[in-house]
Amino acid sequence: MIPVKLSALGIYLPTQVMTNHDLAKIVDTSDEWIRTRTGIVERRIASSEESTSTLATAAAKQVLDKRGIELLEIEMILVATMMPDMPFPSVACKVQDNIGAFNAFAFDISAACSGFVYGLETAASFIKAGAVRNALVIGAEVLSRCIDWQDRSTCVLFGDGAGAVLLESGEENCFLGSVLRTDGSGGDLLYMPGGGTKQPASVQTVENRQHFLKMNGPELFQAVVPIVCEAITDTCNKAEISIEDVELIIPHQANIHIIEEVAVYLGIPIERFMCNLHKYGNTSAASIPIALYDAVRDGKIVPGDYVMTVGFGAGLTCGASLIRWDKSFVC
């Protein structure tokens, strides 16, 4: 098995900031209502000229510029997203063309808010097997285009952004263990009914607002906490690492109360969880790489640390990955 390391990291965030006070002008809500129920203060909104592929491309370019790797040396591009520019071609194909990585094969993964963790493990497996020497893994979303701005239970939660990492073969394996889980029976807790083959776009589906995200928040909250805790515990067991030795857990940034519940359930201080959702809201597949970037920038991760990433979302999907931070990392 070929060792794998995470060698570089980058993000892209749209410049437009929408605060809770801004939202209160267009929907029946308030800053206090949103803060107390979610922990979110503001989020980024993509401009009309931006799309998932442009955000993903910008994050990818930042990673590659930092790493200093030749574009034609990139062998694999994987984009995790649930909101592509269009059904096909994939966002990954657009990124490959945009950056000029013409020797790379490219494809998307659709695992909602768990997508980035699914992508990490997929790319790491390709490298471990010797199929490729490196892989660019990107989480990117423009959720502002699929939320109902008349529904205060969902429109307050989401934001836009992208994060990217470069995985490479290394001298010592830094991907120590993972679990990927699915419970398809929870598919009706978070979904978008219109636009696919079941409900193709029509005048009726538009009038019935079927092309917007739908969520059963209370049931989703109750479902994900035990799943996330189990994923974290099982990943530690696989890697034969005590949870007490994990310096930082990077969870999907959905709701501060979910993160707090997981911390209580596992008996871990909340300080060992990276939380930046107050700045960006829920950016789905982009939330973990953006949080990872902020954690490194803020000095919360140093070489040798054990870092746990854990995602959860529509599907229901869940995934966790334990990474030992490599000394050669650049950010």
**Residue at token pair 């070489």:** 303
Per annotation, catalytic residue among 113, 155, 174, 318? 113
Per annotation, catalytic residue among 20, 134, 255, 282? 282
Residue 311 region by backbone torsions, left for phi larger than 0, else alpha for psi between -120 and 50, else beta: beta
State yes or no: is 282 an active-site residue.
yes
Q: Give SS3 for 175.
A: strand
Per annotation, catalytic residue among 93, 174, 229, 252? 252
Give the per-residue SS3 of 224-259.
Answer: HHHHHHHHHHHHHHHHCCCHHHCCEEEECCCCHHHH
For residues 87-117, one letter each, b for 16 or more C-beta atoms within 10 angstroms of the residue's C-beta and e for the rest, the string is: eebbbbbbbbeebebeebbbbbbbbbbbbbb
For residues 153-179, one letter each, b for 16 or more C-beta atoms within 10 angstroms of the residue's C-beta and e for the rest, the string is: ebbbbbbbbbbbbbbbbbeebbbbbbb
How far is Cα 331 from Cα 328, in angstroms, rounded to an integer?
Answer: 10
How far is Cα 191 from Cα 197, in angstroms, rounded to an integer?
Answer: 14
State yes or no: is 236 an active-site residue.
no
Tokens of 69: 């790797």
How far is Cα 239 from Cα 307, in angstroms, rounded to an integer?
Answer: 12
Residues 320, 309 contacting (CB under 8 angstroms): yes
Residues 31, 79 contacting (CB under 8 angstroms): no
Residues 95, 53 contacting (CB under 8 angstroms): yes
By annotation, the residues acting in catalysis are: 113, 252, 282
